[in-house]
Chains A and B, each alone.
Chain A
């Protein structure tokens, strides 16, 4: 074995080892901030691993949502957590409360163990030596309306999975709004550098989001990646001190939030009513329909992610 064939093995080995180390540091670090930084680094390494596995679509989603936006959400949560903890510690912290807290630390571990057992069972029950479904996808791709097999699966063959994913995000936002959130972060004046960077990057990010959405029909890209870039623009704007005007945060914001799920549901109802299968696209118009659904989904997912970063429900015109 000469050096050039050995090189990919070394590269993959280092990547895998780094992933394991970063994951353990992210879980075990005593400081939450360090844990979050390790988690973001883990996301970046994970996206490299996905590229090595020939899955650029997942790599894009991992780096944009897994590392970028989840990292921003975690940091925003940490900033609120430290503020809330400081307020609580000045009140009282009895030994009993500490014991309940320790009890609750076991609950996530138990849930994770159950998920792991379920996954192990699912892997065990897979048929051995299966060729997978890629041959079926390749056989039907001409009728799907797009030429990127990942988009064909996500939006056409398994469209209801994507619908449920969008609904999960919406559910998360509704939960955050219902819980009322914590007081907003202390806002530091952004300063000229962040201000100029935001002004320069926002149009570029909007353009990139549209590009990713458009190119998703043929090559890696699509609604979730485009939405993540859109949300990045929103997070940047929020960090620079921008807040949506109250006249947009009432009904208009809610309309944008539900546009994707509502279009998906309406389309599903129409397909059932016209005697087709659930979310079965009529082949001649499949491409256009997929693009419209993806565009609405991009807008909804992006705005949902930004609203999650903002945390609490923005005040609207009625003043509540």
Chain B
């Protein structure tokens, strides 16, 4: 394995941990707003690590550009959709969780 392979596997593993944390949050958190919070964090940061890991391994600037484009699009879509879901939930009067 080359050094870039090691770097890629570390980055991909960190990304997978973020996705795992996000999934645990999605299942375990008490209401829609906190679940969205967990989900968007893992989507944005976890996917960032996965994309960086793949970019390190790709060996072509064209592929790196396409991977970055995917990340930017998912960031925009994820953040907007999280806002739309939360907004829709608030409009329907779903209460926020309080201890």
1/0 per residue, CB under 8 A from A, across B80-95: the answer is: 1001100100000000
> CB distance A200 to B76 under 8 Å?
yes
Which B-chain residue is minimally distant from A197 (CB atoms)?
Answer: B80
> CB distance B84 to A193 under 8 Å?
yes
Report the Cα distance A194→B82, complex, angstroms.
11
User: Is residue A127 within 8 Å, beta carbon to beta carbon, of the partner chain?
Assistant: no
Report the Cα distance A194→B80, complex, angstroms.
7
Complex contacts, B87 vs chain A, CB 8 Å:
191, 193
User: Is residue A114 within 8 Å, beta carbon to beta carbon, of the partner chain?
Assistant: no
User: Is residue B73 within 8 Å, beta carbon to beta carbon, of the partner chain?
Assistant: yes
> CB distance A201 to B76 under 8 Å?
yes
1/0 per residue, CB under 8 A from B, across A202-231: the answer is: 001000000000000000000000000000
> CB distance A193 to B83 under 8 Å?
yes
> CB distance B77 to A197 under 8 Å?
yes
> CB distance A193 to B73 under 8 Å?
no
Complex contacts, A191 vs chain B, CB 8 Å:
84, 87
1/0 per residue, CB under 8 A from A, across B50-82: the answer is: 000000000000000000000001001100100
Complex contacts, A196 vs chain B, CB 8 Å:
80
Report the Cα distance A204→B73, complex, angstroms.
9
1/0 per residue, CB under 8 A from A, across B12-53: the answer is: 000000000000000000000000000000000000000000
Among A196, A197, A201, A204, residue most surrounded by chain B Cβ atoms (within 10 Å):
A197
Report the Cα distance A201→B76, complex, angstroms.
9
Which B-chain residue is minimally distant from A196 (CB atoms)?
Answer: B80
Complex contacts, B84 vs chain A, CB 8 Å:
191, 193-194
CB distance from B37 to the nearest CB of A (A): 17
Report the Cα distance A200→B73, complex, angstroms.
10
CB distance from A240 to the nearest CB of B (A): 11
CB contacts under 8 Å to B, within A258-305, are none
CB distance from B60 to the nearest CB of A (A): 15
CB distance from B40 to the nearest CB of A (A): 13
A contact set with B: CB distance below 8 Å: 191, 193-194, 196-197, 200-201, 204
Q: What are 9 A-B residue pairs whose CB atoms fall within 8 Å in the complex?
A: A191-B87, A193-B80, A194-B80, A196-B80, A197-B77, A200-B76, A201-B73, A201-B76, A201-B77
B contact set with A: CB distance below 8 Å: 73, 76-77, 80, 83-84, 87
What are the 10 closest A-B residue pairs judged by CB atoms, nearest first? A197-B80, A193-B83, A193-B80, A194-B84, A200-B76, A193-B84, A197-B76, A191-B87, A194-B80, A204-B73
